[in-house]
Amino acid sequence: MRRPPGSSLVTVYLARRISTLVATLIAASLVVFALLAVLPGKPAQVILGTQATPESVAQLTKQLGLDKPLWQQYLDWMRGLVTGDYGNSYISQLPIGHQIAQSLAVTAPLVGLGLAVGLVIAVPFGVAAALLRRRAAGTLIAATSQVGIAIPNFIAGILLILVFAVKLGWLPASGFVTWSTDPWQAFTSLVLPGVALGVVEGALISRYVRSAVLEVLRSDYLRTARAKGLSRGRALVRHGFRNGSIPVLTVIGLEIPSLIVGAVVVESVFTLPGIGTLLLQAVANRDLIVVEDVVMLIAVTVLVVNFLVDFSYRLLDPRIARA
Amino acid sequence: MSSMQVTVAPVEPLPEEELARRPSGGLAYRLLHDASALVGGTIVLCICLAALVAVVWTPYDPLAVDPSHALQPSSWNHLFGTDEYGRDVLSRLLAGAKLILYSGAVSVAIAVAAGVPLGLAAAIRGGLIDDALMRFVDLIYAFPALLAAIVLAAAVGASTTSAMIAIGVAYVPVFARVTRSSALQVVGSEYVLAARAYRRSTLAILWRHVLPNIRATLIVQMSLLFSLAILAEAGLSYLGLGTPPPEPSWGRMVEEAQSYLSRDPMLAIWPGIFIAIAVLGFNLLGDGLRDVLDPRLRSSR
Amino acid sequence: MTLLAVEDLTVRFGDAAVVADVSFELERAGRLGLIGESGSGKSMTALALIGLLPEEVTVSGRVLFDGHDVISMSEARRCALRGDRIGMIFQEPMTALNPVMRVGNQVAEVVRLHRGGSRRSSHERALELLERVEFRDPPRIARSYPHELSGGQRQRIMVAMAVACSPALVLADEPTTALDVTVQAQMLRLLGRLVSEEGAALVLISHDLAVVSSTCDRLLVMYGGRIVERGPTATVLERPRHPYTAGLLATSSAVSEGAARGPELPTIRGSVPAAGRFPAGCVFRSRCDRATDECKTMPPLEGDEHAFACWHPIEQPAAASVGGEA
């Protein structure tokens, strides 16, 4: 008999995974920096416009620290990221850290709401599609999810606006008041965007839930559970839930980037002042340092979430607790 | 105690419903009898036809502005109505089909052209190249297609080309991964070992043995990726980071129509429906192709 | 006294009957061996006995357990029987246990389900059961996950779950097939001991004559979903009448070496047809050397103690050749 995993094994695993994570993050930062550093056109020139004198351009370049060698600019930027000093926007001169924090207060709840809506849709429909697979209802659910996947979230958003804002007038179609001003109104502004984001994810995830449940239904251990006297439903809940959630968790992990990127688009549909809006404005204004910071923030989030999902398998599935 | 020779397999297989409905016959026959492939194939064919027609003829010039006929509802003159500049929506939708096929094809081509050789190299050489590839895959994973396109648009400006490149590059890892894993199965097989024993060159082995065997998987992936590329392109044009105006693209048509949502909702809904149907078509075609060409992967998505 | 009476049990997948007109009885504390190649319908028969057949099949006939028909009773009553009055052991110890649940909890679950009581008391009962299936360190085993145990250990967990509630009947479907040869005998001894301690009846399903003959006092030989021969173990093994049984014996060297060296026994040619592809009439005639036109009609299963379904049974060997045995 093999021994259960010792804590030292977990430490080794963590150390290895974290070092990979850090290496990937550094590589990602290099990509972002390089892409924006080598592009034609000096930021100072862009900011000041074509009318600016060479002297003022040179002065602004120096002021922004863009006259230093590239490696030093990179190190300065990295130091800022690590210490939380994100610098000031080229354009508005506002501290970027503050802007990002404000935007996150919109985007983070939006992504959370989207994921929640997605799961609320995916789990019951996926389970139903699996249990009813031989009936018309099961086929109908599977076909509906196929259609749901094909609808881009911005179209879903516009349809929701059309029905719930324009026709029924139940919920706001756009805009956002801060949480501190009116938490309830802030929440209602996020309902339609959250649903728009979640419906499409839900359709996708429901397909994976369906196949996970089918897998469980076919399993020998479920038959054993039935042979022990558990009813069909109880056997499925007691023995299927944890087993079935392992593949579904994989998909959720893989879908986090889509949710974040989806949020960028959905914010644009509902004109919410979130990370996406901040990023798109910065792109439009060629406010490169903001673009760099926000892109890096998203990349870090994606990689860290991926890491956490990976780690949570180990809690769910004792078979991969070693290795 | 000795074992018996009578029993071949100790497990009594439970007949699954799949076994019962596995049609026989040629490839075309099987494709026509797979509901997904049939519906998906028909949709894709229709889009291709629409795009072809749009090359030579559209009911009106998709760019012709006519302020006196702005925001008209559906009529025999303008089947899907006109937009805020009086442009014929049907003509713009047809022209948009051309764009969506073109940009989708280029994106997929980039992903294939870079991803397949990478995957093959990783499978054949293994070791360092394999490790490097997997790290690269991890890295690109942090930059979803749309995010990559946004960065690229910030760097070089928004255009169809930058959108296509960003989407293509973002999906390179998908192809590299799929190619690697299916090529690994072939490379380990006995006939490749035999070919190696005859000192066939690596390229010859790849060309004669590996590629034909992973072709089905790649075709399936290309179809599924095409739908993702359409989604990404539509999203980018909606954000104003794809094809710049006045060129008609479905995503941008939705964005432009949004301001007139209460006056003329169909203006936004038509391009939305077209995008959804195009994505659905390529998804269904991909699923159908997988069922027919590559039954091993059936359950995976 | 009869514990289990199966009457005309038929199981169909669409048009194909995987179990056809199977009838037999089992006494309390009796031990019945069900043998046949894969595809003979023996696992389906076992699943029918506890009402766990796949959804898509249709079942007819009766399975009377203690006088109550398992097939027509409500699902709730079947659930109350399973695990309590009827314990079941499956073939695949690798996959039959829940991979993400500690085995102690899996054993305790069946106790708690049918006997109630606190979490703690059912867990203590589980530890006792683990000790009864000869684990030296029950608390440690109880904390393990299935993947941390060997195949034999996992199968012992299955046995512990099957006998947890002192059942009247234990169904064991190929309990030793997936195990190493060295632990097979040990496993059978353990199973035999626990079943007699509980006073339970046993239905042991196997393709391996050696396994069945060492454990069971009566045999049912199945082929093509039908019973082709049945009788007391010694009689069937020493004087097989159906050519299929004789063929099985011939290929099982362990049994044939120990058994009387009668006339050269025929081996079985060909392989088992797929479900639904068995010939009409005698299901075995497509592989039988003795088959004639007569075999196109179904032979009835005839005989009292020792019955067989064959138009051209193997002749009784000279009675003298049996004497040296036993």
Q: Give the model confidence (pLDDT) of C253-274 as tens digits.
A: 544 444 445 555 556 777 778 7
Give mean pLDDT, residues B162-186.
84
A219 and chain C: CB distance < 8 Å anywhere?
yes
Answer yes or no: are the C-beta atoms of B172 and B148 closer than 8 Å: no
Question: How much is the average pLDDT of A120-126?
Answer: 92
Instruction: Give the pLDDT confidence of A35-54 residue by residue, as tens digits.
Output: 777 665 566 776 677 777 77
Interface contact flag, B15 C43, Cβ < 8 Å = no
pLDDT at A75: 85
Distance from CA of B7 to the nearest CA of C (A): 6
Q: Is C55 helix (H, G, I), strand (E, B) or coil?
A: coil
| C97 → closest Cβ in A2, A221, A232 | A221
A96 Ramachandran zone, left/alpha/beta (phi>0; psi -120 to 50): alpha
pLDDT tens for each residue of C29-40: 899 999 988 778
- The 10 Å Cβ neighbour count of residue C289 is 11
Burial B166-196 (b: 16+ CB within 10 A, else e): bbbbbbbbbbbbbbbebbbebbeeeebeebe
Of the pLDDT bands very low, low, confident and very high (cuts 50, 70, 90), residue A323 is very low
Place of tokens 């105690």: B1
Report, as an integer, the average pLDDT of B103-112. Answer: 91
pLDDT in tens, B20-79: 344 455 677 777 777 788 888 888 898 888 888 878 877 777 777 777 776 677 777 767
Q: Compute φ and ψ for C204, nearest 5 degrees.
A: -110, 120
Q: Which residues of C touch B9 (CB under 8 A)?
A: 38
Cβ-contact B289, B30 below 8 angstroms:
no
**Matching residue, tokens 């075995």:** C284
Q: Cβ(A43)–Cβ(A292) under 8 Å?
A: no
CA-to-CA dists, residue C201 to C6, C28, C29, C41, C156, angstroms: 15, 5, 4, 21, 18
CB-based contact B15 C13, cutoff 8 Å: yes
Partners of C69 in the beta sheet? Answer: C64
Produce one character per residue of B219-229: b if its CB has 16 or more CB atoms within 10 Å, e if not.
bbbbbbbbbbb
- Lowest-confidence region among A112-126, A147-161, B178-192: B178-192
- A73 or B16: which leads in pLDDT: A73
CB C38 to CB B8 under 8 A? yes
What pLDDT does residue B18 have? Answer: 37
The C-alpha atoms of residue B2 and residue A131 are separated, in whole angstroms, by: 43
- Mean pLDDT across chain B: 76
Looking at this protein, which amino acid is placed at residue C84?
D
Q: Which amino acid is at B117?
A: P
Q: What is the pLDDT of residue C218?
A: 92
Could you give the 3-state DSSP secondary structure of residue A132? Answer: coil
Name the percent of chain C lying above pLDDT 70.
92
More confident of the two residues B247 and C229: C229
Put simply, whether the predicted model's pTM sits higher than 0.90 gets the answer: no
Q: What pLDDT is recorded for position A76? A: 82
Chain A positions in Cβ-Cβ contact with residue B275 (cut-off 8 Å): 152, 155
Interface B–C counts its CB contacts (< 8 A) at 51
pLDDT score recorded for residue B60: 72
Chain A hits for C76, Cβ within 8 Å: 231
Collapsing DSSP to helix, strand or coil, C2 comes out as: strand
Backbone angles phi, psi at C208, to 5 degrees: -105, 110
Residue type, position A196, single letter: A
ipTM value: 0.85
Whole-number percent of chain B with pLDDT over 90: 5
pLDDT of B7: 26
Chain B residues whose CB is inside 8 A of the A140 CB are none
Q: Which of C47, C176, C208 to mutate to test the interface with B (most CBs of B within 10 A)?
A: C208
Of A315-319, B98-102, B107-111, least confident by mean pLDDT is: A315-319
Angstrom distance (rounded) from CA A92 to CA A18: 36
pLDDT by residue (tens digit) across C162-190? Answer: 999 999 999 999 888 878 888 888 889 99
The pLDDT, as a whole number, for residue C6 is 92
The reply to whether residue B7 touches residue C38, judged by beta carbons under 8 angstroms, is yes
Q: Please check the confidence at residue B192 and state whether its pLDDT lies above 70.
A: no
Closest CA to C32 of C202, C198, C248: C202
pLDDT confidence of residue C325: 37
Residue count (chain A) = 323
Q: In this predicted structure, what is the pLDDT of residue A117?
A: 94
Q: Which two tokens stand for residue C164?
A: 């947890």
Tell me which chain A residues have a C-beta less than 8 angstroms from the C-beta of B268. Answer: 158, 162
Task: Provide the pLDDT for residue B17.
Answer: 37
Q: Write out the DSSP string of C163-215.
A: HTT--SEEEEESTTTTS-HHHHHHHHHHHHHHHHHHT-EEEEEES-HHHHHHH
On whether the CB atoms of residues A174 and A271 are closer than 8 A, the answer is: yes
Q: Is the pLDDT of residue C212 over 80?
A: yes
Asked if the C-beta of A319 comes within 8 angstroms of chain C's C-beta atoms, the answer is yes
Q: What is the average pLDDT score of chain C?
A: 85
Given its phi and psi angles, is residue B22 left (phi above 0), alpha (psi -120 to 50 degrees) or beta? beta
What distance in Å separates residue B153's CA from the closest CA in chain A? Answer: 7
Q: Is B264 helix (H, G, I), strand (E, B) or coil?
A: coil
Best mutation target among B14, B131, B138 (most A Cβ atoms within 10 Å) is B138
**Which stretch of DSSP H or E encloses residue A266?**
helix A241-269
Spatial separation of the C-alpha atoms in residues C45 and C70, rounded to whole Å: 13
Give the mutation candidate from C34, C38, C257, C267 for the B interface (greatest B CB count, under 10 A). Answer: C38
- Residues of A with CB below 8 A from B251's CB? 152, 154
